[in-house]
Protein backbone atom coordinates (compact mmCIF):
# COMPACT_ATOMS: atom_id res chain seq x y z
CA UNK A 1 0.00 0.00 0.00
CA UNK A 2 1.32 3.46 -0.86
CA UNK A 3 2.04 6.11 1.76
CA UNK A 4 -1.10 8.13 0.99
CA UNK A 5 -3.33 5.06 0.73
CA UNK A 6 -2.09 3.86 4.11
CA UNK A 7 -2.92 7.21 5.74
CA UNK A 8 -6.36 7.27 4.13
CA UNK A 9 -7.09 3.78 5.47
CA UNK A 10 -5.89 4.88 8.89
CA UNK A 11 -8.43 7.71 8.87
CA UNK A 12 -11.25 5.51 7.55
CA UNK A 13 -10.82 3.30 10.59
CA UNK A 14 -11.28 6.28 12.91
CA UNK A 15 -13.74 8.45 10.95
CA UNK A 16 -16.44 10.23 12.96
CA UNK A 17 -20.13 9.36 12.68
CA UNK A 18 -21.52 11.82 10.15
CA UNK A 19 -23.52 12.04 6.92
CA UNK A 20 -20.45 12.09 4.67
CA UNK A 21 -16.72 12.26 5.05
CA UNK A 22 -13.73 12.41 2.75
CA UNK A 23 -10.02 12.27 3.42
CA UNK A 24 -7.56 13.71 0.92
CA UNK A 25 -3.95 12.78 1.62
CA UNK A 26 -1.18 14.46 -0.29
CA UNK A 27 2.54 13.93 -0.22
CA UNK A 28 4.95 15.87 -2.40
CA UNK A 29 8.71 15.56 -2.57
CA UNK A 30 10.45 18.42 -4.32
CA UNK A 31 13.89 19.38 -5.47
CA UNK A 32 15.15 22.75 -6.65
CA UNK A 33 18.47 23.05 -8.45
CA UNK A 34 19.89 26.22 -9.89
CA UNK A 35 22.90 28.21 -10.96
CA UNK A 36 22.78 31.99 -10.48
CA UNK A 37 25.40 34.33 -11.83
CA UNK A 38 27.81 31.45 -12.19
CA UNK A 39 27.41 30.04 -8.67
CA UNK A 40 25.43 26.92 -7.80
CA UNK A 41 22.37 27.78 -5.70
CA UNK A 42 21.97 26.09 -2.34
CA UNK A 43 20.20 22.78 -3.02
CA UNK A 44 16.69 22.79 -1.61
CA UNK A 45 14.60 19.69 -0.99
CA UNK A 46 11.20 19.34 0.59
CA UNK A 47 8.90 16.59 1.71
CA UNK A 48 5.40 17.79 2.46
CA UNK A 49 2.69 15.46 3.73
CA UNK A 50 -0.68 15.97 5.34
CA UNK A 51 -4.36 15.17 5.28
CA UNK A 52 -7.51 17.18 4.68
CA UNK A 53 -10.66 15.82 6.31
CA UNK A 54 -14.06 17.09 5.13
CA UNK A 55 -17.26 16.26 6.99
CA UNK A 56 -20.93 16.84 6.19
CA UNK A 57 -23.30 16.80 9.14
CA UNK A 58 -26.89 17.83 8.67
CA UNK A 59 -26.81 21.06 6.69
CA UNK A 60 -23.27 21.88 7.71
CA UNK A 61 -19.88 21.21 6.15
CA UNK A 62 -16.55 21.58 7.89
CA UNK A 63 -12.93 20.70 7.31
CA UNK A 64 -9.77 20.12 9.28
CA UNK A 65 -6.28 19.67 7.88
CA UNK A 66 -3.34 18.31 9.77
CA UNK A 67 0.25 17.25 9.37
CA UNK A 68 -0.24 14.87 12.30
CA UNK A 69 -0.86 11.65 10.39
CA UNK A 70 -0.94 9.37 13.40
CA UNK A 71 -4.23 7.56 14.10
CA UNK A 72 -4.82 9.93 17.00
CA UNK A 73 -4.01 12.99 14.89
CA UNK A 74 -6.38 11.93 12.13
CA UNK A 75 -9.10 11.11 14.64
CA UNK A 76 -8.68 14.55 16.19
CA UNK A 77 -8.89 16.20 12.77
CA UNK A 78 -12.07 14.25 12.05
CA UNK A 79 -13.56 15.52 15.30
CA UNK A 80 -12.50 19.09 14.48
CA UNK A 81 -14.05 18.86 11.01
CA UNK A 82 -17.27 17.56 12.53
CA UNK A 83 -17.31 20.42 15.05
CA UNK A 84 -16.91 22.91 12.18
CA UNK A 85 -19.70 21.21 10.25
CA UNK A 86 -22.00 21.54 13.25
CA UNK A 87 -20.95 25.16 13.75
CA UNK A 88 -21.80 25.91 10.12
CA UNK A 89 -25.08 23.98 10.08
CA UNK A 90 -28.04 26.17 9.25
CA UNK A 91 -25.70 29.00 8.23
CA UNK A 92 -24.28 27.70 4.94
CA UNK A 93 -24.59 29.72 1.76
CA UNK A 94 -26.36 26.84 -0.02
CA UNK A 95 -27.53 23.25 0.49
CA UNK A 96 -24.63 20.82 0.41
CA UNK A 97 -23.79 18.85 -2.72
CA UNK A 98 -24.42 15.12 -2.58
CA UNK A 99 -20.83 14.11 -3.20
CA UNK A 100 -20.16 10.56 -4.26
CA UNK A 101 -23.81 9.57 -4.06
CA UNK A 102 -24.47 6.32 -5.96
CA UNK A 103 -27.49 5.30 -7.95
CA UNK A 104 -28.95 1.85 -7.37
CA UNK A 105 -26.40 -0.79 -8.32
CA UNK A 106 -23.66 1.73 -8.98
CA UNK A 107 -20.27 0.66 -7.67
CA UNK A 108 -17.86 2.82 -5.75
CA UNK A 109 -15.01 4.31 -7.74
CA UNK A 110 -11.69 2.51 -7.57
CA UNK A 111 -8.98 4.37 -9.48
CA UNK A 112 -5.24 4.02 -9.09
CA UNK A 113 -2.89 5.61 -11.62
CA UNK A 114 0.74 6.66 -11.75
CA UNK A 115 1.71 9.00 -14.59
CA UNK A 116 4.79 7.32 -16.01
CA UNK A 117 7.43 9.58 -17.55
CA UNK A 118 9.37 8.36 -20.56
CA UNK A 119 12.53 9.17 -18.64
CA UNK A 120 12.59 9.17 -14.87
CA UNK A 121 13.79 12.33 -13.12
CA UNK A 122 16.54 10.41 -11.37
CA UNK A 123 17.79 8.82 -14.60
CA UNK A 124 20.72 11.17 -14.30
CA UNK A 125 22.28 12.11 -11.00
CA UNK A 126 21.78 15.38 -9.17
CA UNK A 127 25.44 16.13 -9.70
CA UNK A 128 25.09 15.69 -13.45
CA UNK A 129 21.99 17.89 -13.53
CA UNK A 130 23.90 20.63 -11.74
CA UNK A 131 26.73 20.22 -14.22
CA UNK A 132 24.34 20.63 -17.13
CA UNK A 133 22.75 23.66 -15.50
CA UNK A 134 26.21 25.19 -15.17
CA UNK A 135 26.67 24.75 -18.91
CA UNK A 136 23.34 26.43 -19.64
CA UNK A 137 24.22 29.33 -17.36
CA UNK A 138 27.53 29.80 -19.15
CA UNK A 139 25.71 29.90 -22.48
CA UNK A 140 23.41 32.63 -21.19
CA UNK A 141 26.37 34.82 -20.26
CA UNK A 142 27.18 35.86 -23.82
CA UNK A 143 28.61 39.27 -23.09
CA UNK A 144 29.73 41.54 -20.25
CA UNK A 145 26.41 43.35 -20.60
CA UNK A 146 24.61 40.25 -19.33
CA UNK A 147 24.48 41.32 -15.68
CA UNK A 148 22.11 38.75 -14.25
CA UNK A 149 21.66 35.18 -15.45
CA UNK A 150 20.40 31.92 -14.07
CA UNK A 151 19.37 28.40 -15.00
CA UNK A 152 17.13 26.28 -12.80
CA UNK A 153 15.14 23.08 -12.53
CA UNK A 154 12.31 22.34 -10.15
CA UNK A 155 10.81 18.88 -9.83
CA UNK A 156 7.96 17.68 -7.63
CA UNK A 157 6.81 14.10 -7.29
CA UNK A 158 3.29 14.22 -5.94
CA UNK A 159 0.96 11.49 -4.73
CA UNK A 160 -2.63 12.05 -3.67
CA UNK A 161 -5.41 9.82 -2.43
CA UNK A 162 -9.06 10.74 -2.04
CA UNK A 163 -11.17 8.28 -0.05
CA UNK A 164 -14.78 8.82 0.98
CA UNK A 165 -17.45 7.37 3.19
CA UNK A 166 -19.18 6.26 -0.03
CA UNK A 167 -16.33 3.84 -0.63
CA UNK A 168 -14.64 5.78 -3.41
CA UNK A 169 -10.87 5.45 -3.59
CA UNK A 170 -8.95 7.59 -6.08
CA UNK A 171 -5.18 7.56 -6.13
CA UNK A 172 -2.81 9.25 -8.55
CA UNK A 173 0.79 10.28 -8.73
CA UNK A 174 2.72 12.38 -11.19
CA UNK A 175 5.97 14.28 -11.54
CA UNK A 176 5.89 18.00 -12.33
CA UNK A 177 8.80 19.73 -14.03
CA UNK A 178 9.37 23.49 -14.16
CA UNK A 179 12.57 24.58 -15.94
CA UNK A 180 13.86 28.16 -15.96
CA UNK A 181 16.39 30.25 -17.86
CA UNK A 182 16.88 33.96 -17.34
CA UNK A 183 19.23 36.54 -18.87
CA UNK A 184 19.18 40.27 -18.09
CA UNK A 185 21.29 42.61 -20.20
CA UNK A 186 21.97 46.14 -19.00
CA UNK A 187 23.52 49.34 -20.25
CA UNK A 188 23.16 52.49 -18.17
CA UNK A 189 19.58 52.76 -16.96
CA UNK A 190 18.28 50.31 -19.54
CA UNK A 191 17.86 46.68 -18.55
CA UNK A 192 16.11 44.06 -20.68
CA UNK A 193 15.36 40.49 -19.72
CA UNK A 194 14.62 37.37 -21.72
CA UNK A 195 13.50 34.13 -20.14
CA UNK A 196 12.51 30.59 -21.01
CA UNK A 197 8.78 31.22 -20.78
CA UNK A 198 9.04 33.06 -17.44
CA UNK A 199 7.52 30.19 -15.45
CA UNK A 200 5.03 29.32 -18.17
CA UNK A 201 6.84 26.11 -19.09
CA UNK A 202 5.40 23.49 -16.75
CA UNK A 203 4.65 19.85 -17.58
CA UNK A 204 3.84 16.54 -16.00
CA UNK A 205 6.58 14.01 -16.62
CA UNK A 206 10.24 13.50 -15.93
CA UNK A 207 13.52 14.35 -17.60
CA UNK A 208 11.85 13.78 -20.97
CA UNK A 209 10.03 17.09 -20.51
CA UNK A 210 13.31 18.98 -20.81
CA UNK A 211 13.98 17.51 -24.24
CA UNK A 212 10.38 18.02 -25.35
CA UNK A 213 10.39 21.74 -24.52
CA UNK A 214 13.88 22.39 -25.91
CA UNK A 215 15.38 23.39 -22.60
CA UNK A 216 18.91 22.21 -23.33
CA UNK A 217 19.25 24.27 -26.50
CA UNK A 218 17.51 27.53 -25.58
CA UNK A 219 20.18 29.34 -23.56
CA UNK A 220 22.22 30.91 -26.40
CA UNK A 221 19.07 32.32 -28.03
CA UNK A 222 17.84 33.76 -24.73
CA UNK A 223 21.15 35.47 -24.04
CA UNK A 224 21.33 36.88 -27.58
CA UNK A 225 17.77 38.15 -27.47
CA UNK A 226 18.35 39.97 -24.18
CA UNK A 227 21.25 41.80 -25.81
CA UNK A 228 19.21 42.45 -28.95
CA UNK A 229 16.47 44.09 -26.87
CA UNK A 230 18.97 46.50 -25.32
CA UNK A 231 19.49 48.09 -28.71
CA UNK A 232 15.87 47.87 -29.85
CA UNK A 233 13.45 50.81 -30.11
CA UNK A 234 10.29 50.93 -28.03
CA UNK A 235 7.16 49.28 -29.34
CA UNK A 236 5.12 51.84 -31.32
CA UNK A 237 1.79 53.19 -30.07
CA UNK A 238 -1.47 52.77 -31.92
CA UNK A 239 -4.33 50.49 -32.88
CA UNK A 240 -3.09 47.62 -35.02
CA UNK A 241 -3.09 43.89 -35.60
CA UNK A 242 -1.54 41.87 -32.79
CA UNK A 243 -0.14 38.37 -33.18
CA UNK A 244 0.36 36.73 -29.78
CA UNK A 245 2.81 33.85 -29.45
CA UNK A 246 1.66 30.82 -27.45
CA UNK A 247 3.71 31.96 -24.46
CA UNK A 248 1.56 35.10 -24.27
CA UNK A 249 -1.67 33.45 -25.38
CA UNK A 250 -1.60 31.23 -22.32
CA UNK A 251 -1.89 34.14 -19.90
CA UNK A 252 -4.44 35.92 -22.08
CA UNK A 253 -6.59 32.78 -21.94
CA UNK A 254 -5.95 32.39 -18.24
CA UNK A 255 -6.94 35.89 -17.20
CA UNK A 256 -9.68 36.83 -19.65
CA UNK A 257 -11.37 33.46 -20.29
CA UNK A 258 -10.42 31.14 -17.45
CA UNK A 259 -11.06 33.36 -14.45
CA UNK A 260 -14.28 34.92 -15.78
CA UNK A 261 -15.76 31.46 -16.39
CA UNK A 262 -15.04 30.19 -12.87
CA UNK A 263 -18.45 29.53 -11.44
CA UNK A 264 -17.54 30.37 -7.86
CA UNK A 265 -16.55 33.86 -9.03
CA UNK A 266 -19.86 34.20 -10.84
CA UNK A 267 -21.60 33.09 -7.64
CA UNK A 268 -19.74 35.75 -5.70
CA UNK A 269 -17.43 33.65 -3.51
CA UNK A 270 -14.31 35.51 -4.67
CA UNK A 271 -15.66 39.05 -4.56
CA UNK A 272 -13.62 39.94 -1.48
CA UNK A 273 -10.32 38.72 -2.92
CA UNK A 274 -9.76 37.50 -6.49
CA UNK A 275 -12.85 39.29 -7.78
CA UNK A 276 -16.09 38.69 -9.56
CA UNK A 277 -16.84 38.17 -13.26
CA UNK A 278 -18.42 40.11 -16.07
CA UNK A 279 -20.01 36.78 -17.06
CA UNK A 280 -23.48 36.14 -15.62
CA UNK A 281 -25.41 32.89 -15.44
CA UNK A 282 -27.83 33.91 -18.19
CA UNK A 283 -24.99 34.18 -20.73
CA UNK A 284 -24.33 30.43 -20.95
CA UNK A 285 -25.59 28.96 -24.19
CA UNK A 286 -26.04 32.28 -25.97
CA UNK A 287 -23.30 34.83 -25.32
CA UNK A 288 -20.87 35.55 -28.12
CA UNK A 289 -17.58 35.44 -26.25
CA UNK A 290 -15.34 35.50 -29.29
CA UNK A 291 -15.25 35.22 -33.04
CA UNK A 292 -16.37 32.00 -34.72
CA UNK A 293 -12.74 30.86 -34.69
CA UNK A 294 -12.71 30.59 -30.91
CA UNK A 295 -13.04 27.09 -29.43
CA UNK A 296 -12.00 26.71 -25.81
CA UNK A 297 -11.91 23.41 -23.97
CA UNK A 298 -11.53 22.11 -20.46
CA UNK A 299 -9.37 19.12 -21.27
CA UNK A 300 -7.96 17.06 -18.39
CA UNK A 301 -6.71 14.37 -20.77
CA UNK A 302 -3.82 16.04 -22.58
CA UNK A 303 -0.72 13.97 -21.88
CA UNK A 304 1.91 15.99 -20.08
CA UNK A 305 -0.21 19.09 -19.52
CA UNK A 306 0.17 20.47 -16.00
CA UNK A 307 -3.35 19.73 -14.71
CA UNK A 308 -4.24 16.45 -16.38
CA UNK A 309 -6.15 14.11 -14.10
CA UNK A 310 -8.99 11.56 -14.11
CA UNK A 311 -10.94 12.82 -11.07
CA UNK A 312 -11.01 16.15 -9.31
CA UNK A 313 -10.60 16.62 -5.56
CA UNK A 314 -14.35 16.12 -4.97
CA UNK A 315 -14.12 12.77 -6.76
CA UNK A 316 -15.99 13.94 -9.87
CA UNK A 317 -14.81 12.13 -13.03
CA UNK A 318 -13.02 14.53 -15.38
CA UNK A 319 -13.63 14.67 -19.10
CA UNK A 320 -13.15 17.07 -21.96
CA UNK A 321 -15.83 19.72 -22.49
CA UNK A 322 -16.14 22.68 -24.82
CA UNK A 323 -16.57 25.84 -22.75
CA UNK A 324 -16.73 28.07 -25.81
CA UNK A 325 -17.61 26.61 -29.19
CA UNK A 326 -17.69 28.60 -32.39
CA UNK A 327 -17.32 31.70 -30.25
CA UNK A 328 -20.45 30.99 -28.17
CA UNK A 329 -20.19 30.53 -24.40
CA UNK A 330 -21.40 27.02 -23.52
CA UNK A 331 -20.26 25.80 -20.14
CA UNK A 332 -18.84 27.09 -16.86
CA UNK A 333 -15.72 26.20 -14.94
CA UNK A 334 -17.60 25.01 -11.87
CA UNK A 335 -17.26 21.89 -9.74
CA UNK A 336 -20.00 19.85 -8.06
CA UNK A 337 -20.88 22.32 -5.31
CA UNK A 338 -20.98 25.34 -7.62
CA UNK A 339 -23.03 23.43 -10.19
CA UNK A 340 -25.62 22.50 -7.58
CA UNK A 341 -25.77 26.11 -6.37
CA UNK A 342 -26.10 27.62 -9.85
CA UNK A 343 -28.04 24.79 -11.45
CA UNK A 344 -25.95 24.91 -14.62
CA UNK A 345 -23.45 22.53 -16.16
CA UNK A 346 -19.81 22.67 -15.26
CA UNK A 347 -16.71 20.50 -15.21
CA UNK A 348 -14.65 18.45 -12.76
CA UNK A 349 -12.50 21.28 -11.47
CA UNK A 350 -12.85 21.31 -7.68
CA UNK A 351 -9.17 21.36 -6.78
CA UNK A 352 -6.93 22.17 -3.85
CA UNK A 353 -3.29 23.25 -4.10
CA UNK A 354 -2.23 21.07 -1.20
CA UNK A 355 -3.44 19.03 1.78
CA UNK A 356 -3.90 22.15 3.89
CA UNK A 357 -6.41 23.93 1.65
CA UNK A 358 -10.02 23.02 0.72
CA UNK A 359 -11.05 22.41 -2.89
CA UNK A 360 -12.50 25.31 -4.87
CA UNK A 361 -13.25 25.93 -8.57
CA UNK A 362 -9.97 26.11 -10.51
CA UNK A 363 -8.99 26.16 -14.14
CA UNK A 364 -7.05 22.87 -14.53
CA UNK A 365 -6.26 22.47 -18.26
CA UNK A 366 -7.93 25.25 -20.21
CA UNK A 367 -6.98 25.18 -23.86
CA UNK A 368 -7.63 27.04 -27.10
CA UNK A 369 -8.18 24.51 -29.85
CA UNK A 370 -5.99 24.81 -32.94
CA UNK A 371 -7.05 26.70 -36.05
CA UNK A 372 -5.88 26.16 -39.59
CA UNK A 373 -3.08 28.65 -40.24
CA UNK A 374 0.66 28.18 -40.14
CA UNK A 375 2.62 30.86 -38.30
CA UNK A 376 3.76 32.28 -41.64
CA UNK A 377 0.14 32.40 -42.84
CA UNK A 378 -0.79 34.45 -39.78
CA UNK A 379 2.09 36.87 -40.35
CA UNK A 380 1.14 37.06 -44.02
CA UNK A 381 -2.34 38.35 -43.14
CA UNK A 382 -0.94 41.39 -41.33
CA UNK A 383 -0.52 44.69 -43.14
CA UNK A 384 0.44 46.70 -40.05
CA UNK A 385 0.98 45.04 -36.73
CA UNK A 386 3.25 43.55 -34.15
CA UNK A 387 3.88 40.13 -32.70
CA UNK A 388 4.57 39.74 -28.99
CA UNK A 389 6.13 36.84 -27.11
CA UNK A 390 6.67 35.75 -23.50
CA UNK A 391 4.52 37.42 -20.89
CA UNK A 392 6.23 39.71 -18.40
CA UNK A 393 3.35 41.80 -17.02
CA UNK A 394 -0.34 41.07 -16.41
CA UNK A 395 -3.12 43.10 -14.89
CA UNK A 396 -6.90 42.87 -15.15
CA UNK A 397 -9.85 44.31 -13.29
CA UNK A 398 -11.78 42.37 -10.67
CA UNK A 399 -14.58 41.58 -13.16
CA UNK A 400 -11.93 40.24 -15.55
CA UNK A 401 -12.73 42.74 -18.25
CA UNK A 402 -10.24 45.63 -18.62
CA UNK A 403 -6.80 44.08 -19.06
CA UNK A 404 -3.25 45.16 -19.82
CA UNK A 405 -0.40 42.82 -20.66
CA UNK A 406 3.28 43.32 -21.35
CA UNK A 407 5.69 40.99 -23.12
CA UNK A 408 9.43 40.52 -23.17
CA UNK A 409 9.91 40.87 -26.92
CA UNK A 410 8.05 42.21 -29.92
CA UNK A 411 8.61 42.31 -33.65
CA UNK A 412 7.01 44.69 -36.07
CA UNK A 413 5.06 43.23 -38.99
CA UNK A 414 4.59 45.24 -42.18
CA UNK A 415 2.91 44.01 -45.34
CA UNK A 416 2.99 40.41 -44.26
CA UNK A 417 6.68 40.38 -43.27
CA UNK A 418 8.37 40.18 -39.89
CA UNK A 419 10.47 43.28 -39.23
CA UNK A 420 12.50 44.91 -36.48
CA UNK A 421 12.58 43.79 -32.88
CA UNK A 422 10.94 46.19 -30.41
CA UNK A 423 11.24 46.37 -26.64
CA UNK A 424 8.61 46.91 -23.91
CA UNK A 425 5.66 45.72 -26.02
CA UNK A 426 2.39 46.22 -24.15
CA UNK A 427 -1.27 46.11 -25.11
CA UNK A 428 -4.58 46.74 -23.41
CA UNK A 429 -8.18 45.91 -24.12
CA UNK A 430 -11.48 44.61 -22.79
CA UNK A 431 -12.20 40.88 -22.58
CA UNK A 432 -15.79 41.30 -23.74
CA UNK A 433 -14.65 42.69 -27.11
CA UNK A 434 -11.06 41.45 -27.50
CA UNK A 435 -11.89 37.83 -28.30
CA UNK A 436 -14.45 38.88 -30.89
CA UNK A 437 -11.57 40.43 -32.81
CA UNK A 438 -9.82 37.07 -33.10
CA UNK A 439 -8.84 36.86 -36.80
CA UNK A 440 -6.70 33.77 -36.95
CA UNK A 441 -5.32 30.82 -35.01
CA UNK A 442 -2.30 28.67 -35.65
CA UNK A 443 -2.74 25.06 -36.73
CA UNK A 444 -2.02 21.96 -34.66
CA UNK A 445 1.68 22.18 -35.48
CA UNK A 446 1.95 25.55 -33.75
CA UNK A 447 0.28 24.53 -30.47
CA UNK A 448 2.43 24.74 -27.35
CA UNK A 449 1.52 23.07 -24.06
CA UNK A 450 2.26 25.60 -21.33
CA UNK A 451 0.72 26.67 -18.02
CA UNK A 452 1.52 28.33 -14.76
CA UNK A 453 2.55 26.93 -11.38
CA UNK A 454 1.12 29.88 -9.46
CA UNK A 455 -2.51 30.64 -10.20
CA UNK A 456 -3.61 32.56 -7.12
CA UNK A 457 -7.11 32.54 -5.72
CA UNK A 458 -9.19 31.61 -2.70
CA UNK A 459 -9.51 32.46 0.96
CA UNK A 460 -7.35 31.01 2.44
CA UNK A 461 -5.10 31.74 -0.53
CA UNK A 462 -4.07 28.95 -2.86
CA UNK A 463 -1.46 28.98 -5.64
CA UNK A 464 -2.14 26.06 -7.93
CA UNK A 465 -0.79 24.58 -11.17
CA UNK A 466 -2.86 24.99 -14.29
CA UNK A 467 -2.23 24.03 -17.91
CA UNK A 468 -2.87 26.04 -21.06
CA UNK A 469 -2.28 24.66 -24.54
CA UNK A 470 -2.68 27.13 -27.35
CA UNK A 471 -1.56 28.06 -30.84
CA UNK A 472 -0.54 31.65 -31.66
CA UNK A 473 -3.55 33.95 -32.06
CA UNK A 474 -4.08 36.94 -34.35
CA UNK A 475 -6.29 39.82 -33.13
CA UNK A 476 -7.42 42.93 -34.97
CA UNK A 477 -7.60 46.55 -33.84
CA UNK A 478 -5.71 46.26 -30.56
CA UNK A 479 -4.23 49.23 -28.67
CA UNK A 480 -0.50 48.57 -28.40
CA UNK A 481 2.23 50.74 -26.90
CA UNK A 482 5.76 50.73 -25.55
CA UNK A 483 7.63 51.89 -22.48
CA UNK A 484 8.81 55.23 -21.16
Partner 1 sequence: MQEQFFALADVVTAHLQTGEGYLARFSGEVSDFVRFNHSAVRQAGAVTQRYLTLELFRGTRHASQTITLSGHHSDDVSTVRAAVQTLRDVLSDTPEDPFFLINTAPQSSARTMPNRLPTSDEAVDAVLRAGAGHDMVGFYAGGPIHRGFANSFGQRNWDTVNAFTTDLSYYLAGDRAVKMNHAGSAWDAAAFAAKADSAKARLAALARPAKTVAPGGYRVFLAPAALEEVMGMLSWGGFGLAEHRTATTPLIKMVEQGVTLNVAVTLTENIGEGLAPGFQDEGFVKPASVTLIDGGVYKDCLISPRSAAEFGAAQNGADGSESPLALDMKGGSLKETDVLTALGTGVYVGNLWYLNYSDRNACRMTGMTRFATFWVENGEIVAPLNVMRFDDTVYRMLGANLAGLTSTCNLLLSSDTYEARSTRSMRLPGAVIDDFRMTL
Q: Which is nearer to partner 1, 356 or 381 (CB)?
A: 356
* Among residues 6, 87, 113, 231, the one that binds partner 1 under rule CB under 8 A: 87
Please enumerate in sequence order all residues whose Cβ is within 8 A of that of 194, keeping only pairs 6 or more positions apart, or say none. Answer: 182, 183, 222, 223, 225, 226, 229, 390, 408, 409
CA 150 to chain centre: 23
Q: Which is nearer to partner 1, 80 or 157 (CB)?
A: 80
Q: Which is nearer to partner 1, 165 or 276 (CB)?
A: 276
Q: How far apart are CA 285 and CA 462, in angstroms?
A: 30
Determine if 461 is a binding residue for partner 1 (CB under 8 A).
Answer: yes
CB of 70: closest distance to partner 1 in angstroms? 6
Q: Which is nearer to partner 1, 392 or 447 (CB)?
A: 392
CB of 462: closest distance to partner 1 in angstroms? 8
CB of 19: closest distance to partner 1 in angstroms? 16
Please enumerate in sequence order all residues whose Cβ is within 8 A of that of 70, keeping only pairs 6 or more positions apart, or say none. Answer: none
Q: How far apart are CA 398 and CA 457, in angstroms?
A: 12
Taking CB under 8 A as the criterion, which residues in 9-48 touch partner 1?
37, 39-40, 42-48
Give residue 190's region: left, alpha or beta (phi > 0; psi -120 to 50).
beta
* Interface characters, 57-76, with partner 1 (x: CB under 8 A): ----xxxxxxxxxx--x---
CB of 323: closest distance to partner 1 in angstroms? 23
For residue 177, CA distances in Å to 19, 32, 47, 120 come to 39, 10, 16, 11
* Interface characters, 299-318, with partner 1 (x: CB under 8 A): --------------------
In our burial notation (b when 16+ CB lie closer than 10 A, e otherwise), range 199-221 reads bbbbbbbbbbbbeebebeebbeb
Q: How far apart are CA 140 and CA 183, in angstroms?
A: 6
Question: Residue 284: how many CB atoms within 10 A of its CB?
Answer: 21
Closest CA to 235 of 405, 479, 473, 483: 483
Taking CB under 8 A as the criterion, which residues in 121-160 touch partner 1?
125-127, 130, 147-148
* Among residues 199, 275, 380, 416, the one that binds partner 1 under rule CB under 8 A: 275
Taking CB under 8 A as the criterion, which residues in 416-455 touch partner 1?
424, 426, 428, 430
Determine if 281 is a binding residue for partner 1 (CB under 8 A).
Answer: no
CB contact at 8 A, 290 and 450: no
Q: Which is nearer to partner 1, 41 or 212 (CB)?
A: 41
Question: Residue 25: how many CB atoms within 10 A of its CB?
Answer: 28
Q: Which is nearer to partner 1, 301 or 456 (CB)?
A: 456
Q: Which is nearer to partner 1, 65 or 219 (CB)?
A: 65
Torsion 330-334-337-341 (CA) sign = negative
Kindly give the residue spans of alpha helices, DSSP state H, lying in 390-465: 431-434
Determine if 216 is a binding residue for partner 1 (CB under 8 A).
Answer: no
Total of residues contacting partner 1 (CB under 8 A): 83
* Among residues 136, 156, 256, 276, the one that binds partner 1 under rule CB under 8 A: 276
Determine if 406 is a binding residue for partner 1 (CB under 8 A).
Answer: yes
* Interface characters, 167-186, with partner 1 (x: CB under 8 A): -----------------x-x
Q: Which is nearer to partner 1, 49 or 115 (CB)?
A: 49
Q: Which is nearer to partner 1, 188 or 445 (CB)?
A: 188
Amino acid sequence: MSFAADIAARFAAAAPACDFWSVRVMRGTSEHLGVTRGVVDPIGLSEDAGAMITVHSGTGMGYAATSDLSALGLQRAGADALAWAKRAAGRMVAPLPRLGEKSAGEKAVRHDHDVQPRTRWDAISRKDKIGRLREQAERLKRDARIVDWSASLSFTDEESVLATSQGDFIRRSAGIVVPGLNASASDGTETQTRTFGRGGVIRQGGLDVLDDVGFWTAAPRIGEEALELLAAPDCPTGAMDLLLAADQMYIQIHESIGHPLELDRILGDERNYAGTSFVTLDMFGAYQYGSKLLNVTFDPGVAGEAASYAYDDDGTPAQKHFLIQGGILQRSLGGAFSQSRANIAGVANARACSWNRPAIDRMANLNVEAGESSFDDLVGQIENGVTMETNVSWSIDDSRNKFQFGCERGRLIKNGKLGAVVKNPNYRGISATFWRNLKGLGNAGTVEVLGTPNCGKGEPNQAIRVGHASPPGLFGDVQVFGGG
